[in-house]
Chains A and B, each alone.
Chain A
Amino acid sequence: MPSPDAALEIQKIANDPVPIRVRASGAWTFSGLKAQREQLARRLAELKNQPVDRVAWDLAGMADLDDAGAVWLAHALRGAQRVEVAPRHREMLKQVSEGMLVQRDVAGFDPLAGVVWTGQTAADSVVHLRDGISLLGQLALDIAGMLRRPREIPLRELSAGVFRAGVTALPVTMLVGFLVGIVLTYLSALQLKRYGADLLVINIVGVGVLRELGPMLASIIAAGRSGSAITAQLGVMRVTEEVEALSVMGISVTARLVLPRVLALALALPLVSFCTDIAALAGAMLVTHFTLGISPGAFIQALPQAVEVTHFWIGIGKSVAFGFAVAFVACHYGLRVLPNTDSLAVGVTRSVVAAITCVIILDAIFAVMLRNVG
């Protein structure tokens, strides 16, 4: 049989040293308070305004009391002198009253907070950079060690990584490449047609796709797809202390976890980039056929004459560097994840953003360095 809802009976006695008598009954629980919530809150607030020596509380009639009810009562009872309560509820009321006395920490205004934040952020960035450099150094040492002892090359992990980052990424990268090829060619053809320079579209699209767009598209998709997966995987391994377990067993974390992923993406990305190039050029071929009347055969014949093979090799070479950079950044952020889910989410987001930024910076550097090539 459920207890009746919480109720408060207030009796006023004239000419009495304690003129207000309050009697609580029913279930002072979260569900018992629901029905009369507002009315009870109002009456308790009124009683709180009375001088404490003028109110006598009789809480012995309460059928039930939980934390929610105790919080309400403890608030009203603060400082009360005359309280009658059943022994089974006394301890809970006492605990809740003590709990409510704990002061909330309110951070005051700190005029130097901005300076502290700037300093802290700068210091964190330095630590970040230092960790990145040390990971890169360790990776170089591991690669050197692996070249000295070829039997230690993690072939199984490498082939699994190439499959995951390469083969499974092909449908999406090729689709994107094909669509970008169509858009780029269509827009270029519209402009070139005006000047009667229709055939130049093959030069523009050929160089653009093979040297820039193919590797960039493949890298950006790899950063979002493989990079986030690497960060999440290593991050979860950090959360579950699997990374620490490797270190304790004397196994190099970089050799076991970072190296296979970095090498796999550095190997897979040129292949993905090559397939993206083909898809984008197929899109271009389709558009030139329908808009400029250049047949696929003529397009294929004109392409090697219009575009030097150097552009293709530059694109493939850049893809290797981009793959290395994406996987390296992803591993770096993955290994920095703290053992909580929030840090994991932040790590994955930052990893993807940093990897894409890194790819664009590298591309700019390559563009300047190779400006006279091809």
Chain B
Amino acid sequence: MAHGAPVPDEQYVIEIENLVNTVGANTILHRDLNLKVRRDEVLSLVGGSGSGKTQLVRVILGLKRPAAGRVRVFGVSWDDPSAKKVRDARRRMGMLFQNGALYSALTVYDNIAFPLRERGGLSEEEIRGVVHTKLAQVELDPSHGKLLPANLSGGMVKRVSLARALALSPDLLILDEPTAGLDPDRSEGFVRLIKRLREDHRFAMLMVTHDLETLFELTDRVAVLADQHIIACDTLEAVRGMDHKFVQNFFGGDRGRRALQHG
């Protein structure tokens, strides 16, 4: 991927301009925040605890209304008067929540089939084909389809959640801490799986992560959220050279050096 090259506007899947985001009545969480995610790239969002990464993702997903500024996903603002445009934009993105957010009353099969049924246009037999394809893509057996989320291990929850996020063949996948709660082996396997699926399907990715190994393995560009805005958004090499306390601690600490050696 050509980093830093000028890209026409339609090449951005997410555009955030001059965002102001508040928590409660008066606390400003983000101020003058600008971020653009290109089509076909993996952009990782990093920042210290409490910097508002998850809140920023909620704004991008349209779950939280910003106090000011403009947020567009696939060129559509969440407050667009056209409900169809908003719905179509939503269906072009998938979300992998940190804890899976699977519907606990539905089986694995029904969890994955849920967005397909809601969208309509496919028969039950066609949906069955897609669900089993998705299960195979996340390396799960068709027999896992009968299980309830409560019967799954942490790694399986992540895989099912990923399968559900990819059910509508999205153009954008947003991941909130994809490897949180997984042991190193499973974490490595899950990152490999995401990498392979992305290579196969070429969707754009916005990933919030603290895990440096995941970052080094998947990322094209890194956006650093600190001091209430994005202080840098560039390639890993460029960001690592920044003279900023958070960046130096994040990449220059023991974990960063270890991840670099493995990377």
Which residues of A approach B to under 8 Å, CB–CB?
29-30, 34, 37, 66-68, 70-72, 74-75, 91-92, 95-96, 98-100, 102, 104-105, 239, 338-343
Q: Which of A34, A74, A341, A342 contacts B121 (CB 8 A)?
A: A34
Q: Which of A74, A95, A100 contacts B137 (CB 8 A)?
A: A95
How many B residues have CB within 8 A of the partner chain? 27
> Among B42-50, B127-135, B175-183, which stretch is in contact with chain A?
B127-135
Give CA–CA (A254, B137) in the complex, Å: 46
Give CA–CA (A37, B135) in the complex, Å: 26
Residues of A close to B150: CB separation below 8 A? 338-340
Q: Which of B121, B132, B148 contacts A99 (CB 8 A)?
A: B132
Closest CB pairs A-B (n = 8): A342-B105, A99-B132, A340-B104, A99-B133, A66-B169, A100-B129, A339-B150, A71-B129
> A67 touching B169 by the CB < 8 A rule?
yes
- Nearest opposing residue in chain A for B149, CB measure: A340
Residues of B close to A343: CB separation below 8 A? 105
Residues of A close to B149: CB separation below 8 A? 340
> B130 touching A71 by the CB < 8 A rule?
yes
> B122 touching A340 by the CB < 8 A rule?
no
> A341 touching B103 by the CB < 8 A rule?
yes
> A100 touching B121 by the CB < 8 A rule?
no
Residues of A close to B168: CB separation below 8 A? 30
Closest CB of chain A to B254's CB: distance in Å? 32
Q: Which of A37, A67, A104 contacts B133 (CB 8 A)?
A: A67
Closest CB of chain B to A294's CB: distance in Å? 57
Residues of A close to B130: CB separation below 8 A? 67-68, 71, 96, 99
Q: Which of B103, B105, B132, B148 contacts A102 (CB 8 A)?
A: B132
- Nearest opposing residue in chain A for B137, CB measure: A95
Give CA–CA (A96, B133) in the complex, Å: 5
Most chain B CB inside 10 Å of its own CB: which residue of A100, A102, A340: A102
> B105 touching A68 by the CB < 8 A rule?
no
> B104 touching A71 by the CB < 8 A rule?
no
Closest CB of chain B to A70's CB: distance in Å? 7
Residues of B close to A105: CB separation below 8 A? 146
Residues of A close to B132: CB separation below 8 A? 98-100, 102
B126 interface residue, CB < 8 Å from A?
yes
B119 interface residue, CB < 8 Å from A?
yes
Closest CB of chain A to B143's CB: distance in Å? 9
Residues of B close to A92: CB separation below 8 A? 133, 200
Contact flags (1/0) for B47-65 with A, using CB distance below 8 Å? 0000000000000000000
